[in-house]
Structure 1
Amino acid sequence: MSKPKGLSRRGYNSKRDSGALRFSSRNDYENDNNNRDDVMERSSTGRISFKRLQLKGNIKNRLTERAIRTRLKDEERTISTFNERTRGLRHKSCTIPKRNFGETSKLIPSTLGWYHVMIEFTRRYSKDDVIQALHNAIFPENFIAHYWRTEKSYVEFFVQEYSIAQRLQSVERNVEMDDGYRLSMRVRGKCPTVSIDEEFKERMQLVMAKRYNPHTKLLDMSNFHADADFRTIFCGLLHSDVMSAALDIIEKHTPDLEALNLNQNHLSELDSFENVEQRLPHLKIIYLADNNIACLARLMVLRNAPVTELILETNPLLQRYKDHSSYVAAVREKFPKLVKLDGVKLEPQILFDVNDVYSLPRAKALFLCDTSGGNIIFQFLEQYFKIFDSDNRQPLLDAYHEQAMMSISVPSASQVGRLESFWKFNRNLRRTVNNGVINRIRQLKVGPLAVVSTLAEWPSTQHDPQSFTVDVTIFTPKMMCVTVGGLFKEFESANNTAGSIRYFQRQFIVVPAGNGFCIRNEMIFVTRASRSQTRTFLKPQQTMPVVDTFATPTATIEIIGVQNELQMDHQGATSSAAPDQPDDATKMQMVQVMSAQSHMNMEME
């Protein structure tokens, strides 16, 4: 049967494509000159519609359905980063592409070295049955399920090997039990949790005692969590709380430790080693191989320790340097006293023959510009903070001048966390500048009633007098400037004995008032205490407290009211001190003694 020509071709195509319009090729069109008018007439009255592309089967570049789906998948990956509201938009005539439903995402290697496996709805099966089914699914691979735990609707355990975790994820929907039930499993990178209590610390202490060598003064804590005594609990040093507990045990029982092995513990930071030069002054060798330390900045907490040997092999930080010499130079820059690095003895550095070691004056807990004011200042502080820590702070109304002014400031929340009890009183400059003059004035408390009302809103406190540092920079008959810093405990409620340790600094401007003194101006700064400060709170000191430095048998004053507590017979003090004015020779001796104690030049006195 020969093909119809011209318009009769439309009927021929309708049998194949159900009435869809088909354009003829160029050769056929040139042979149909006789039907040109009919075609033009049909085009002027017919409708135009889009249809599926059809090419002859012998064309090599034909787009098959599989090629189209592949291209659409590639476009999906590119479009997936667009805004959520733009996703899924398509033309109504486009074919809906097949999506990768049911396919699991790729497991990312965990920097913590642990992987969490959770299996739902398996209470009816025993642990051995579930483990056996998993072994059969990933055969010939083998694994150990650490820290198995059974909950109401699921079971969980941990594995260490990334290859095992990958393999378990690949079969997470294909593990079948003997009765035909398929396990629903989820694998992700996660570290086991830990709860530190006294029993936990006792077990840590036993394991550390077993690993300590008293002859070499070496404590081997490598791969610490894998010790046989930790089968049922996770004791990973990668948790900062666990590392802090370990250092507390070392400081208490082996303060003369010289070498510490921390290899293979997945450590990424060493913040727990703060002030290690004071806690372990003899520590010289530290092994940190096979950990996750990313840069030398993580080791700066050890810069003041007398470290002479470091082991840093197999850490990510080595990849930051183009060659070994650059790596050695960078480490020696941070630790100039280093003798051995990664087991290799370093060549001695070429240094200038100059003694650049200077000893700074020893920090002291107090400074008095005039020693004659010691008794007055310490009586004032002792009585003030005794009332401040009591249940009723209202008597402090008599301690402030009629035009007294007070302001409170705390650091930003991004630095030390939000100090909830003090944040609403914060008059920090950065906070008040953006909020205008009104808020700046509102946070400045003027008058004794406003000052004491603000202090009464503070939570209950307990100050540690042995942590106080006192500076008296001005002491005249008309004014005293006293700066006090120290620690106090903030109690959330009266019945709660556990509180947060805070550091404070308060500056008082004290002026005479009647027969006594009162506070004319006060600035308060409150922040969170550091770890080292928290450890020393309310602990007995080896030296005498600063309050007792100038104590005399007549220093005790009966507490009847705040005015009686704070007032001193100012006139009597000045009149009694007048006959005892030292001569020039005595003054010169006092200057020499002060110069020897403060290490200041005679010209500066």
Structure 2
Amino acid sequence: LAHSNRFQFFQSHIIQILYSSLQIQFAQRYSKDDVIRALLNVISPEIFIPHYWRTEKNCVQFFVDDYSIAQRLQSVERNVQMHDGYRLSIRVRANCPVVSVDEEFKEKMKLVMAKRYNPQTKALDMSKFHADPDFRNVFCGLFRSQVMSAALDIIEKNIPDLEALNLNENSLSGLDSFKNVEQRLPNLKILYLGDNNIASLAHLLVLRNVPIMELVLKSNPLRQRYKDHSFYVRYHDGEELEPQILFDVNDTSSLPRAKASFLCDASGADIIRQFLEQYFIIFDSDNRQPLLDAYHEQAMMSISVPSASQAGRLQSFWKFNRNFRRIVNNEEINKIRQLKVGRLPVVSTLAEWPKTQHDPQSFTVDLTLFTPKLICFTVGGLFKEFESTNNPTGDIRYFQRQFIIVPAGGGFCIRNEMIFVTSAVGLQARAFLKPQQTMPAAGTAATPAAPNSLTSVQNRLQMNQQATTSAAAALIHLPANQPDDATKMQMVQAMSMQSHMNMEWSRKCLEENNWDYNHATFVFDKLQKENKVPPEAFVK
């Protein structure tokens, strides 16, 4: 740093200390009075008192205890001219005088402390201790740890029953010297620390075992962060605090135990359990097309992944990302493109995902809304992504999916879904690899063991009763109540008109799709595009 900026640099990067050092080159040939007079003439009408004047071989050095004066003297460098025409060169540094805490020094401290002690109130006034006239030629700044330690030693040996201590205006930035003060000064009840440089409440931890009833902290940087002092003081900054309202109970510092699920309505647990069983059995199978029955005709879905730092590790999902923080220039077209609307776009997107295996033991479930017309819940947990680009054996992912489902026919369907995917942390990945009950393949969904495949999920939903098998509780694809014959005939006629198939094949198409007209038309369109509809279906 250039010399002219060095002082400003130190003052802007450290806590402002009490003294500043001034060194004047080749001023030793002039008398002290001449040098001081020349400096005062330049900064007039301001004045200062030089402390600890010392003459050396090629310079003189002294200290000032006013930061503004030090800045002023720094600014007039080379403008101070002596009677012989020589211009003084002034160097200013943020510095403290060297102090040697010997027995002579301690004796002088003891004398000053003795005259400041009030035996009637058992109070010791050490405010602005360094400025005491008896320290005219000795530096005794309490903000130096060795000086404060010496002061506490003197108090412990000579005033062990001290009850009040005033340390205002001593530029204290910490209280490290007060360690074990509860043993050294067990009767200390009043402590003044105003007008100091204490920046953090952490510095007060050394006082936690001291029976202080009155604490003054005014004009300290920590006052801007000071919020709650009512738990350990009765007076603060001279004001009496209102008494605390306490209860006759034992305080505990432990947090509530984390729960794997939250249910706003316990009656929704069975529905959510069946949803998880059916949905993820299909999702982890080789064919996700049956999920079409789980989504509403106008279903909406979005997928987001975290920051670009994981783009490489989440390459399989990055192209679906609708994280607004990652959309360049907040382009509206990308927002629209990545929002999937309609059950076919939704399931088509999910079909592009790599093969997965979800871990039901890791699932957490939160049911936040449960009404006859709408259910909202969130599922989080782990799954394994097979054939990852970075790991042929598969990577462990963490997911969170929020579902909004609505009634549809005799069951429910997904109206809205938001998916978040990220890489699992090491602890999660290790938990996934532990031996556990695996989810059965889709082909076993109809076996008697399938309803128990997610026993851990049922436990996490805190189910105490047997799982019901009511058709009204099924979520993924429960056929609606079978239409009557007249309605079936109308559906067959509508299918025939729309598809141009004859009545026989139209009925066959509807029957094979459980009389779900929307799904039947979807299957027909798909098969027709693949040229798999036989020609006789169109013969009338």
TM-score w.r.t. the length of structure 2 is: 0.44
TM-score w.r.t. the length of structure 1 is: 0.40
